[in-house]
Amino acid sequence: MFLINCPYCGERDQSEFSAGGEAHIVRPKQPTELSDDQWAEYLFMRKNIKGVQFERWNHSHGCRKWFNMVRDTSNDKIHAIYKMGEKPPIK
Amino acid sequence: MSRNLRITNNKFIDQTSRISFKFDGKTLYGFKGDTLASALLANDIHLIGRSFKYHRPRGIMTCGSEEPNAIVQAGNDASMTEPNTRATEIELYEGLEASSQNCWPSVNFDIGAINNFFSPLIPAAFYYKTFMWPANFWKLYEYFIRKSAGLGKSPTQPDKDIYDHRYLHCDVLVVGGGISGIIAAKTAAKNNLNTVLIDDKNNLGGTTIFQQNECFKINNSYSNEWLKKEIETLNSIKNLTIKTRTTLAAYHSYNYLLARENLTDHLDLNERKDKIRQRLWKIRAKKVIIATGAMERPLIFNNNDRPGVILSYSIKKYIDYFGVKCGQKISLFTNNDSAYETAISLSNSGVSVNSVVDIRDRTNSLIVQQAEKLGIKIHWKSAVVNTNGYKKITSIEIMKLSDDDTTVVGKKIKQECDCLGISGGWTPRVHLFTQSGGKLKFRDEDNVFLPDKSELDQISIGSCNGDFELDSVVKNSVISTNKFLKVNNNDYENLKINSSNEINKKNIWLLPSNKPLGKTKPFLDFQNDSTANDVKLALREGFKSIEHVKRYTTTGMATDQGKLSNMHALGIIAETADVKMGELGTTTFRPPYTPLTFGAIVGRNVGEFFDITRRTPMHDWHAKHNAEFENVGQWKRAWYYPIENESIHEAVQRESKAARDSAGILDASTLGKIDIQGSDASEFLNRVYTNAWSKLEIGKCRYGLMLNEDGMVYDDGVTTRLGENHYIMTTTTGGAANVLGKLEDYLQTEWPELDVYLTSVTDHYATVSICGPNSKKIISKVIPDLNLSDKEFPHMSFRNALIDNIKCRVMRISFTGEHSYEINIQSSYGKSLWEKCFEAGKEFDITPYGTETMHLLRAEKGFIIAGQDTDGTMTPVDLQMDWIISKKKYDFIGKRSLYRSDTIRDDRKQLVGLLTDDPNVVLEEGAQIVLETKKQPIEMLGHVTSSYFSPNLNKSIALAVVKNGKKLKGQKMFVPMKNKTINVTITDTVFLDKENKRLNA
């Protein structure tokens, strides 16, 4: 059970949060101009890394804000948390 | 007889307070402080149960949580009885009733024991291999296997006990109250760290607290006396909380731990009333110190499972702590020094020790010298090759080991005994460390897995970290704790420690025997009855991975998770397969460390607290009017209102007819309501709904369909424009929270530039829906000031109104196809508005109707219910709702997916109407639809999604999804049921009032 430092509320128990999948997948601005393959790439393809992964999280039982998290899936270590729209502090 | 087995002058047992208890129906006595195991041993009862597979007699083997054999059914009350509890952990209380498990008719005469004679025929995976075929015989096999398998019996009545959960936050959590844990806890607390010390026993002190031996001294006191003084000082330390009878069950990441505290299990039954039985602590610790100690290992040799074969150090605890002799003539069998401590304790208490059989060559550590001084006979470089006796051990057979230790040689010596203590060395309790994600390393010198790397702020100290000698335990615990806590506690700086240190180490995983392997029973996993032979068989059959061998032989898969036997299984596999143990790795230890009760897991979340129940403001009215309720998500919705003895069918037929003939009233308060405001509100709706919103006039309502990005229908509802930048959206009852979440997600992450604010107002408004040809007359009575003419207040529009000076919103919208109004009012007025409408409607026989009638009425009109007629695979095109997809809008959620190669296929399942050829036959929802009934396999073309008998049309109607259904109108098809095949015809989805005349009736 993680301890997550919500960028708006501070440190809270994981039970207040929900995970929202891979981060930094931008919805295409002009979907109509994409081929089926390109659209499918956006729609379906997600990474499932053993190691450092960029994820979206939502403080669903708190401030309801979405934010990004850099987490190592092999040991659950959270390397960074940053707001939506911000650049990842680490690569 | 029992008197002989109890020694007096014992510090831990209160021999003045006698306790009576029952075991297998027989009344026995013990003392306050006893465990069930120690009390049974004091009564000379060794035979506790029968083994799982072969029904061999089994007795108490340990004194702690790792006990594999002495598992009993505790309590005989149908609601309180607890199966599979370890006799070694049950504290004796007045009135305890315990009984043996897995035996019939009794533990002394067990029919199932016949399995033991057939045991050569029941090797590993016997059941897997034997009951494979014929396949349809499985039902028969299963009956017998289930009857003969299993351990205790579960309670048949609801649990009457109270359990609860609490959170605990601390700077330092110390797990284990042995000598290391006490040193660590004291160090932490004295340095102003908020510290919690937990231990699963009722007393602190671990094994040191009963170690009174010349060889082990601290500052010239016996180690137990020194530790006792340390424990006495703990009470005066601030910042230190001590919890005994508390078992650490699970250690998760981020130092989140679960511990179960037993609060009443040790009390007499009459003292427990209204008290909380167990509490689950949810602990978040900044730092964790694991000091869980080590477990003694058994030795693996022929017939090592007889009652009376007990781990050597447990014998020591029974004599030194409980004052109980495990036998009168005790033999010991060991590969290490600790059995000599037992021999000395026994000898000092006047129990005769036959001899110590040691597989090692002669060694002369201090403790061995002391034993020799006491005249204890030692068989060096020898092994026990067999034990005799059935319900209890009567003798052992000893032979010399060959020079290379691979076989036994010389003459067999038979030695009479009534108890055999065995010691195969020590296994650090690394369970919690590995649960927390820590990685282990292997130490070859004494074959132990030790904590290595961890990502968490934690350390292991004492014997769970591989220190087995008193001096190294104390010294290293002090050093490690100071370093870990970054403090400098000098309380323990100049301790003078005397310790007998082991010089000679030796280990043989599977001891050699004078008999061939197939003829012996060297048990590895006592609880699951798997032997070394089973493991070897698995390897011969080609299993290589330890995880596979474990599952195939079930070694380590019993309720004790193989605490005692895993190391030997690994050792034997490594030896046989010629791999290094360190490379083989271990199986995964999973939480809980010892089984938890379901009560502790659920805590207070039982009965009405299991889940939140949401009730509308009108709930009491519905209940008073005999409503049956339906669960929709967390909501209780009125389902139908039976009058007198009406069945659901009769009530729904009556309600449906009344709603169309005169007037019906429905509580629609549960529909999700989202208030949308902001200068980009219209643009936002354009993006989330398939249809266009910019041109919707203020005061108008529009139905909207919401898709997922994959083009599938997600939710639907009517949204009303209240002002230039203000909308109110309704969602389905069950979908409200998810829709809000999804909208927030897009707003925050994809379109942060939009000026839009969302607020859930579902609970803020109560909604009364009135439909039917007389609805207009009723509304005009309730709100006389409102102009209800079709011109002033047409269908799909909204007006603000006042009812008794209370503001409300009136929408003229319809889910039934009737002339219909929905009044939204502040929740607190919901019930009085409902009553007012009902009163006004009385002259028109207004009929309250529930969700079932609502579903029927909308089906007559072919309106979908998202989640019933859709299932996450239906696009709006599949629903034949092409009209709701805006052609002009550049983009909306899911638009691009509507022309993916998959979504434009012709043979997708599409929504159609379905009429049965016999209008009285009502189809079953979920029934399959086919075209061809003769040729097998029959191709499933679709299924029924909604089906009712319509009283207004006087026939059965149904909605269904059928492959290529759009083009099949008029097609005859079949619905094959168990006893008959129903003939159906595909039709339009609208069954009633295709011209929508009733909306303005």
Which residues are B352's β-sheet partners? B329
Asked if residue B146 has pLDDT above 80, the reply is no
Which CATH number characterizes residue B822's domain?
3.30.1360.120
Q: In angstroms, what separates the C-alpha of B798 from chain A's closest C-alpha?
A: 31
Reported as a pLDDT band with limits 50, 70 and 90, residue B327 is: very high
* A50 and chain B in contact, CB less than 8 A: no
Of B890, B891, B901, the CB nearest to A36: B901
Q: Is residue B153 part of a domain?
A: no
Asked if residue B660 has pLDDT above 70, the reply is yes
Contacts of residue B744 in chain A, CB cutoff 8 Å?
64, 66
Which CATH number characterizes residue B82's domain?
3.10.20.440
Verify whether the Cβ–Cβ distance B709 to A43 is below 8 Å.
yes
Please indicate whether residue B166 or residue B80 has the higher confidence score (pLDDT).
B166
pLDDT for position B52: 79
* A85 and chain B in contact, CB less than 8 A: yes
pLDDT for position B407: 95
CATH number of A3-83: 3.30.2270.10
Domain boundaries in chain A? 3-83
Asked if residue B1000 has pLDDT above 90, the reply is no
Residues B637 and B775 both lie in one domain: yes
Asked if residue B673 has pLDDT above 80, the reply is yes
Least confident of B137-141, B160-164, B562-566, B688-692: B137-141
B7-39 b/e with 16+ CB inside 10 Å = b? Answer: beebebbeeeeebebebbeeebebbbbbbbbbb
Q: What confidence tens digit (pLDDT) does each residue in B258-301 have?
A: 999 999 999 998 899 999 999 999 999 999 999 999 999 999 99
Contacts of residue A20 in chain B, CB cutoff 8 Å?
745
Q: Is residue B852 part of a domain?
A: yes
* A58 and chain B in contact, CB less than 8 A: yes
Amino acid B101 reads Q
SS3 call for B795: coil
- Mark residue B269 as left, alpha or beta (left: phi above 0; alpha: psi -120 to 50; beta: remaining): alpha
Give the residue from B226, B261, B255, B224 showing the smallest Cα distance to B241: B261
- Alpha-carbon span B538 to B123, nearest angstrom: 10
- Alpha-carbon span B841 to B781, nearest angstrom: 9
Residues B769 and B805 both lie in one domain: yes
Least confident of B432-441, B577-586, B893-902, B960-969: B577-586
Residues B270 and B401 both lie in one domain: no
Q: What confidence tens digit (pLDDT) does each residue in B801-835 have?
A: 999 999 999 999 999 999 999 999 999 999 999 99
Ranges of beta strands (E only) in B156-293 are 162-175, 195-198, 217-218, 221-222, 240-243, 246-252, 256-262, 276-290
Q: In angstroms, what separates the C-alpha of B425 from chain A's closest C-alpha?
A: 33
Average per-residue pLDDT in chain B? 93
Residues B258 and B113 both lie in one domain: no
Reported as a pLDDT band with limits 50, 70 and 90, residue B121 is: low
Verify whether the Cβ–Cβ distance B254 to A64 is below 8 Å.
no
Mean pLDDT, rounded, for B920-945? 93
The beta-carbon contacts of B801-806 under 8 Å, at least 24 apart in sequence, are: B803/B829, B803/B833, B803/B836
Among B867, B886, B914, residue at a domain's last position: B867
Asked if residue B553 has pLDDT above 50, the reply is yes
Residues B275 and B303 both lie in one domain: no
Tally the C-alpha atoms within 13 A of residue B881's C-alpha that lie toward its C-beta: 23
Asked if residue B3 has pLDDT above 70, the reply is no
pLDDT averages per 10-residue partition of chain A, 91 residues? 95 95 94 95 95 96 96 93 93 77
Mean pLDDT, rounded, for B588-607? 90
- What are the tokens at B655? 């309600």
Of A26, A43, A58, the CB nearest to B897: A43
Verify whether the Cβ–Cβ distance B741 to A31 is below 8 Å.
no
The structural domain count of chain B equals 6
Q: Is residue B239 part of a domain?
A: yes
Give me the percent of chain B exceeding a pLDDT of 90: 81
Q: What confidence tens digit (pLDDT) does each residue in B34-70 have?
A: 999 999 999 999 999 888 778 889 999 999 999 999 9
Of B254, B895, B900, the CB nearest to A3: B254
pLDDT for position B206: 95
* A34 and chain B in contact, CB less than 8 A: yes
Verify whether the Cβ–Cβ distance B900 to A20 is below 8 Å.
no
Q: Which positions ≥6 away from B65 have C-beta within 8 Å? A: B86, B88, B89, B200, B247, B563, B593, B594
Amino acid B872 reads G
- What are the tokens at B631? 């669960």
* B309 phi/psi in degrees, rounded to 5: -90, 115
Q: Which positions ≥6 away from B450 have C-beta within 8 Å? A: B428, B430, B440, B441, B442, B443, B460, B465, B466
* A64 and chain B in contact, CB less than 8 A: yes
Residue numbers of the domain that contains B100: 2-117
Mean pLDDT, rounded, for B77-105? 88
- What are the tokens at B121? 């025929």
Which CATH number characterizes residue B994's domain?
2.40.30.110
- What are the tokens at B664? 């019906």
Asked if residue B583 has pLDDT above 60, the reply is yes
Mutation target vs A (from B165, B166, B168, B254; most A CBs, 10 A cutoff) = B254
Mean pLDDT, rounded, for B648-672? 97
A8-34 b/e with 16+ CB inside 10 Å = b? Answer: eeeebbbeebeebeebebeebeebeee
Residues B829 and B911 both lie in one domain: no
Please indicate whether residue B562 or residue B994 has the higher confidence score (pLDDT).
B994
Q: Which positions ≥6 away from B170 have C-beta within 8 Å? A: B194, B195, B196, B241, B283, B284, B285, B286
SS3 call for B171: strand
Of B252, B748, B891, the CB nearest to A1: B252
Verify whether the Cβ–Cβ distance B745 to A1 is below 8 Å.
no
Q: Which positions ≥6 away from B316 have C-beta within 8 Å? A: B210, B341, B342, B345, B346
**C-alpha pair distances (Å), B119 with each of A32, B49, B789:** 71, 18, 89
Largest Cα separation within chain B, whole Å, is 114
CB A82 within 8 A of CB A7: yes
3-state helix, strand, coil in chain A (%, to 5): 15, 35, 45
Residue of B nearest to A60 (CA): B741
pLDDT for position B440: 94
Contacts of residue A37 in chain B, CB cutoff 8 Å?
none
Tally the C-alpha atoms within 13 A of residue B449's C-alpha that lie toward its C-beta: 25
Q: Is residue B882 part of a domain?
A: no
Angle value at C-alpha B950, between B945 and B951, nearest 5 degrees:
160
Least confident of B23-32, B422-431, B587-596: B587-596
- Alpha-carbon span B204 to B184, nearest angstrom: 13
Mean pLDDT, rounded, for B636-643? 98
Residues B844 and B773 both lie in one domain: yes
Residues B190 and B330 both lie in one domain: no
Instruction: Write the DSSP assignment of B68-101 as a string of letters.
Output: SS-EEEE--STTT-EEEEETTTPBP-TT-EEE--
Residues B559 and B640 both lie in one domain: no
Contacts of residue A34 in chain B, CB cutoff 8 Å?
896
Q: What confidence tens digit (pLDDT) does each residue in A71-83 have?
A: 999 989 999 999 9
pLDDT for position B2: 45
Asked if residue B11 has pLDDT above 90, the reply is no
Which residues are B718's β-sheet partners? B703
Residue of A nearest to B437 (CA): A75
DSSP B652: H
Cis peptide before B105 (omega within 30 of 0): yes
* A35 and chain B in contact, CB less than 8 A: no
Of A31, A60, A75, the CB nearest to B891: A31
Q: In angstroms, what separates the C-alpha of B573 from chain A's closest C-alpha?
A: 28
- Alpha-carbon span B942 to B928, nearest angstrom: 6
Contacts of residue B895 in chain A, CB cutoff 8 Å?
31-32
Q: Is residue B251 part of a domain?
A: yes
Give the residue from B959, B990, B786 showing the smallest Cα distance to B865: B959
Residues B416 and B364 both lie in one domain: yes
Give the residue from B290, B291, B288 showing the smallest Cα distance to B168: B288
- Residue B514: CB atoms within 10 A of its CB come to 16
Reported as a pLDDT band with limits 50, 70 and 90, residue B142 is: low
Angle value at C-alpha B709, between B708 and B714, nearest 5 degrees:
5
Q: Is residue B750 part of a domain?
A: no
Asked if residue B625 has pLDDT above 50, the reply is yes
Asked if residue B1 has pLDDT above 60, the reply is no
Asked if residue B606 has pLDDT above 70, the reply is yes
pLDDT for position B388: 96
Q: Is residue B399 part of a domain?
A: yes
Residues B280 and B314 both lie in one domain: no
Of A1, A32, A58, the CB nearest to B253: A1
Residues B275 and B316 both lie in one domain: no
Q: What confidence tens digit (pLDDT) does each residue in B389-401 have?
A: 989 999 999 999 9
Q: Is residue B729 part of a domain?
A: no
Q: In angstroms, what separates the C-alpha of B743 from chain A's closest C-alpha?
A: 12
